[in-house]
Structure 1
């Protein structure tokens, strides 16, 4: 290799190392872009419905968002925080009940298999309960959910995301052109179309997820009310919020209502499990296909792979943003790698 080629290789390695070092900051910036796309989608809907100019649509959209946030801060968040705190306090008692129920099931199975309730399955009982009684589960749960140490950093990141999102929302075309200038001049027109496609895919995904999460929250609230499960508001809000994270989120949302129901009876906990399975199947096979007809569909295997990969690379924020990242990457792979590279890759002529 020549000196210039070595220099280019070193520059590429340095650039990749820099990107890897700044991956958390870049992910936070991507979160701001996602929020900005959500605001731009609302602004576009306002302009289409009201037939007004962009400045007026921006003012109306920001006003609407402010009103919604004010209503959430005064009417929804306080009871949710209260009920969620009570929900967390019930988890240790529910865990103790579950352990006692498991012990009883093992004893009954030993009675059926060996004619006595002890001795036959002692190896299983000792393996499951070798840690002793869960006397410190309350402290463990509170430590798991206690994020006070990183609260300041989280608030700063949230302020950064909101500020950058508002700046991008006010001048989206200008910031898009800055991104276009980062690619070679011969590819800028095509790259501009790719960015527009990514924006359209993100907008469709966000609208679909919003409608889907609202439906899941409402269905969960109705079902839990009919079953007589306590803390309906907290569990319904959690079901709607965690629905944003596919595969993992719905599973986590089932733990809390089942824990509360288990304190009443195992049958009620089983009924809650069946309810959430029914709601998730309804969401997966009816609600989501109906509201996302024009949205870029992601295969379940690719979705799970993206969640695992981005969680390992970026941490919890990567898990939260795995779906929008996967949506954008799928557009880039389809438009750039497949359409612009592989589809135009000609077979070299045979040597005569």
Structure 2
């Protein structure tokens, strides 16, 4: 009489293989979804930065005045609209005219530079090689024409900017709704630690944003005044360009300086060195004096890591990737430090109880 066959259970090794395959497939699927939806995710992150920009003065009014949060938000939004209106009334027209002039001056400057290079030993070969890929003056003219069209067009804000503004407004109006929604996805025993982590992320990004705004204002003001004192034309537009490009670390200041050097070269080749010294001095003050003082509470991003992230996001998402590369890197560094290094590897702990959280808040 034969024995009934017993069901065979998979071995421990087989289970581990299936678990590893499932984890690998899930990771690959998640990375694919992130890649396909990268522009949407970056737009959402930019909207959250906009909400943080609105919330900073709103929270200050809430702490130092008798206004409620909603009225503080109304005052902040009204103030921003008035500042934008004053800028449009007093400076936007002149800036657009100067950008139009710059779109004509820079291609002429590049052509003049090409003629100067042809007189150098290897300059003729270099210019010939560049002309095979298209004239540099035509490239500058095309790029500046696009910038000018974007700035002067009635619909220049585009749908992406509208999306970012509305995300920022809705999140700034009711931040607790979105914060509590995210916390509801976390296990109950981890919610207190997640709340502390969210506060830290907000603090780090706030300091980074404050530092960038201060740097943009100082660099734009010093650049405009310095170029005006040196007698360089288009000082207003070049100062505004330097302020805007300061939001993109590493690459932005180089682009702004290159435009100013070409304008100076078109007027007087001798003024080229004065403009170069001006931009070098301003960047020295910004990099070694202003930024360390303002962002002492923010995340210190290694320059090599930031450049790598900027290049990667710039290739994947264009200008939007360059704009959010620095704050996104700061956010990821905080999350990796708290969740992986301290939480997973055990080099420190994320508070998960009210007692530990209250101690952390008192230390702040």
Please indicate the TM-score interval, normalised by the length of the shorter structure.
0.7 to 0.9
What does residue 261 of structure 1 align with? 264
**Change in CA separation of 1:225 and 1:169 when aligned onto 2, cut-off 3 Å:** same
What does residue 86 of structure 1 align with? 101
What does residue 64 of structure 1 align with? 79
Between 310-319 and 6-15, the greater mean CA deviation after superposition: 6-15
Q: 1:138: Cα distance to partner? A: 5.3
Q: 1:137: Cα distance to partner? A: 5.3
For residues 290-319 of structure 1, what are the alpha-carbon distances to aligned partners after superposition, in whole Å with 9 as ceiling and x for unaligned? Answer: 222322222222222221232233322111
Secondary structure of the structure 2 residue equivalent to 1:297: coil
1:1-352 to 2 correspondence within 5 Å? 1-2=14-15, 5=19, 10-104=25-119, 106=120, 121=121, 125-130=124-129, 139-145=138-144, 146=146, 155-343=158-346
Secondary structure of the structure 2 residue equivalent to 1:304: helix
Q: 1:51: Cα distance to partner? A: 4.3
Is the 2:105–2:263 Cα contact (8 Å) retained in structure 1?
Answer: yes
CA distance in 2, matches of 1:135, 1:199: 46
What does residue 117 of structure 1 align with? none
**Change in CA separation of 1:157 and 1:277 when aligned onto 2, cut-off 3 Å:** same
Is the 1:96–1:134 Cα contact (8 Å) retained in structure 2?
Answer: no
Is the 1:239–1:253 Cα contact (8 Å) retained in structure 2?
Answer: yes
TM-score (norm 1): 0.85
Is the 1:89–1:138 Cα contact (8 Å) retained in structure 2?
Answer: no
Q: 1:245: Cα distance to partner? A: 0.9
TM-score (norm 2): 0.82
**Change in CA separation of 1:153 and 1:180 when aligned onto 2, cut-off 3 Å:** farther
**Change in CA separation of 1:69 and 1:49 when aligned onto 2, cut-off 3 Å:** same
Q: 1:189: Cα distance to partner? A: 2.4
CA distance in 1, matches of 2:130, 2:76: 54
Q: 1:130: Cα distance to partner? A: 4.5
CA distance in 2, matches of 1:286, 1:51: 36
Secondary structure of the structure 2 residue equivalent to 1:225: helix
Q: 1:283: Cα distance to partner? A: 0.8
**Change in CA separation of 1:127 and 1:14 when aligned onto 2, cut-off 3 Å:** closer
Q: 1:193: Cα distance to partner? A: 1.7
CA distance in 2, matches of 1:309, 1:135: 26
Secondary structure of the structure 2 residue equivalent to 1:266: coil
Q: 1:131: Cα distance to partner? A: 5.4
Is the 2:117–2:127 Cα contact (8 Å) retained in structure 1?
Answer: no
Between 90-99 and 292-301, the greater mean CA deviation after superposition: 292-301
Secondary structure of the structure 1 residue equivalent to 2:270: helix
Secondary structure of the structure 2 residue equivalent to 1:289: helix
**Change in CA separation of 1:274 and 1:339 when aligned onto 2, cut-off 3 Å:** same
**Change in CA separation of 1:222 and 1:102 when aligned onto 2, cut-off 3 Å:** same
CA distance in 1, matches of 2:27, 2:113: 55
Give the CA RMSD over aligned residues: 2.7
What does residue 357 of structure 2 align with? none
Is the 2:112–2:266 Cα contact (8 Å) retained in structure 1?
Answer: yes
